[in-house]
Structures are given as C-alpha cells and as structure tokens.
Amino acid sequence: MAPQGVPCRGSNEKTCAFGLEYTESSAPVPGAQPHPVTPPGRACHAEPPAARRVDEHVPHPRSCSNPPSPQATVSPISAPLRLGNDVVDLAHPRVRSRRRRARFLARVLSSPERRWLASDPQEEEARLWAAWAAKETAYKVVCKWPGDRPVFAHARFVTELELGPADADLREVRGTVRALDRSVEVSGWVSGSFVHLVGTAGDRPATWARHRIELGVERVPETTEDGELLELDGLRDRFTSREWSGIHGLPSAWARLEARRRLASHLATETAATLPERAGDDEGPGPGRSFEPRIEILTSRTRPGRTPPRVLVDGQLLEGVDLSISHHGAWVGWALLLPPAHHGPEPDTGRD
C-alpha cells in the first residue's frame, strides 16, 4: 500500500514536484503488481516488488525513483511512451457551479462512473474532478500518436480510479482510462485545493529503460519577487515571438516558464558537444563545456492550448523528450519524460 499523502511544503502551497524513473526490468508489464509511489515532500524509500528492483539511488526529498504502477494493458501501437497531465483548481467558480448539474454529469461520465460517483456522496467532489482530470490527461496522451486527432467525448473515455484515504491532506489517485481501444495509466494527487494527474501509455517497454518522469504543480503567484502585481505583459520579454504566439494568458505563460526551468536544469548539466550549436557564439560549444541552453516550448499559433507542445533547444527540436503542460484557475501543472541522456539534478522545489 502506498504511504499516506502529505500536504505540499513551502509557502502558499507553492510547489510540489517529484520524479519517477523506469528501468528496463521495471517497465510496466500487464498483470504485474503496482509499485509503491511516494507523494511529494516525502523521502522515497518504498521498495518495488521482489525481483523488480530499481537501481540504488539516494532520492531528493521531493523525488522518487520507483516507476509508476504497471497495471495498465496498452494496445499494440507503434509509438514510444507518451505523457499527458491535467490540473483542476477546486476553488474555481465553474468547478463549484458544475458539480451537481445532472446534464453536466451525464455529458462527462459513463453510466458506471455515475454510479460510482453516487455511491458515496461525501466523496462526490473528489471523485468527479479526479475522473475529469483523468479523462483530460488521457486525451492528451492519445493525441500524441500519429493519425487524425480523435473527437473528444468525455463519457467515452471511461475511468477506473482508486483514491487514497479521505482523511489525508494529499490523496493519491491511480487507475486507468480506456478509450478508442487504448488504455492510459493515470496517477497523481487530490488535495483540498487542486487535482493533478499524469497519464502514460506506450507499447515498447524496452525503449523506456532509464527514462525519468518528472511532475510538478504550482499555484501561480500573485506578485513578483519585487512585490509588484504579476501581469502577463511583464513576462513578455521572457519568451521568443513564436513562443508568445501560443500563449493565451498568465497561467499559460507561467506553466511554460516552470517547465522550461526544469528542462534547463537538466540540459545545462550536459556537455555542450551533445547539444545543438549556438548561432553567433564565438567560442562555440566545445567538448566538455556546459552551458544553459536556450529553450522554447512551442504550441499551435492558430489553436493555442489545443496541440501538444514541442521543445526546441537553440532552434532545434529536442528528440526523446516528451512534455505536457496544463493550467486551470490559479494552478499550473507539467510533466516531463526525460531519456537517460537528459537526466540532471533532482528537482529543487524549496525556492523562497
């Protein structure tokens, strides 16, 4: 059984972040027992099942090296592991107003899900928004495979979820979402303030060996470090023109900044010889020299927020890295899939 969750640490519930790491021997296998997952803010000492040990590793207090639960059976799709994530601000006015609308429930939930929701009235809110976030997460995963973008009908994305103890400040969520002959494994957290889930799917476990999954969720600050009101226009100079064209609000911008910060912390530790050449750099990268790469997160100019993000480093697509970003109300979330070459330092979520 996974350990009981704990609340996010830091001022103003600012950030929770943790990582998950695959090894070739611990990649998801149908029918295998789930690995324990440690919640943010707790040292990760949970052991995987016998004969499926991960490498010895001393984790950051907000990092975990155990792989996610391998319960999901994934359809044979010729694609690597893909990520999606979704966050729900439970204090948002539309969340509160929608919760008990019968038409809304009929539109977004299947009949078994509605029965599950009604079986415990005190759990209704947590179950509803965990299911909503799971469906949104799974859709983002499905959209990353080649082919036409599927029509998103929430009720056709059927969830099977388990939530941790109701008296926990931070409740673990895990389960699966099935739709379009595919299965997406989801896991994450429900607190009194937000729901944040990540979803994964893929059919070539050997290609996931030593990949790291890193997640984060953060409340968008109201003020800058100087105490001034944080406004979208004040962030304009932190983005390139093509990045800015896909940004449609302050949370949209903040989610990208947080994801870029984590990517930069990983990529800056690599030798420059493994990264693209810098245009106009007199010294050039040079073997053995490290630097902070210029990172862009690009989405569609015509449909911002509707297409999967792409990561570019110095103008070139970064291969092998998958990214999902999300935002709702006052909260932003992100998830990174990092291949072995891009592993960097453990997440530092103890910012002042």
The domains of the chain are located at 11-220+326-342, 232-276+287-317
**Mean of per-residue pLDDT scores for the chain:** 72
Higher pLDDT, 63 or 352: 352
Q: How far apart are CA 255 and CA 246, in angstroms?
A: 12
- CA-nearest of 269, 263, 258, 316 to 291 is 269
Query: Cα–Cα–Cα angle for 134, 166, 35, nearest 5°?
Result: 60
Of how many residues is the chain composed? 352
Asked whether residue 19 carries a pLDDT value surpassing 80, the answer given is no
DSSP state of 40: T
DSSP state of 47: P
Q: Determine the pLDDT at residue 180.
A: 80
CATH class in words for 11-220+326-342: alpha beta
Q: Determine the pLDDT at residue 119.
A: 96
Q: Determine the pLDDT at residue 346.
A: 54
Asked whether residue 234 carries a pLDDT value surpassing 50, the answer given is yes
Contact 107, 156 (CB under 8 A): no
DSSP state of 229: B
Q: What is the mean pLDDT of residues 223-229?
A: 92
Q: Determine the pLDDT at residue 292.
A: 52
- CA-nearest of 286, 306, 288, 308 to 297 is 308
Q: How far is CA 290 from the centre of its chain?
A: 27
Higher pLDDT, 2 or 103: 103
Res. 54 pLDDT band, cuts 50 70 90: very low
Q: Determine the pLDDT at residue 40.
A: 37
Gyration radius from the chain CA atoms: 20
Judged by average pLDDT, the poorest of 30-44, 111-125, 138-152, 190-204 is 30-44
Asked whether residue 58 carries a pLDDT value surpassing 50, the answer given is no
Q: Determine the pLDDT at residue 308.
A: 86
CA trace torsion 156, 128, 37, 347 (10° rounding): 100
Res. 102 pLDDT band, cuts 50 70 90: confident
Q: What is the mean pLDDT of residues 9-35?
A: 36
pLDDT tens across 248-294, in order?
899 999 999 999 999 988 887 553 434 444 444 444 444 444 445 68
Percent of all residues in the chain with a pLDDT value above 90, rounded to a whole number: 46
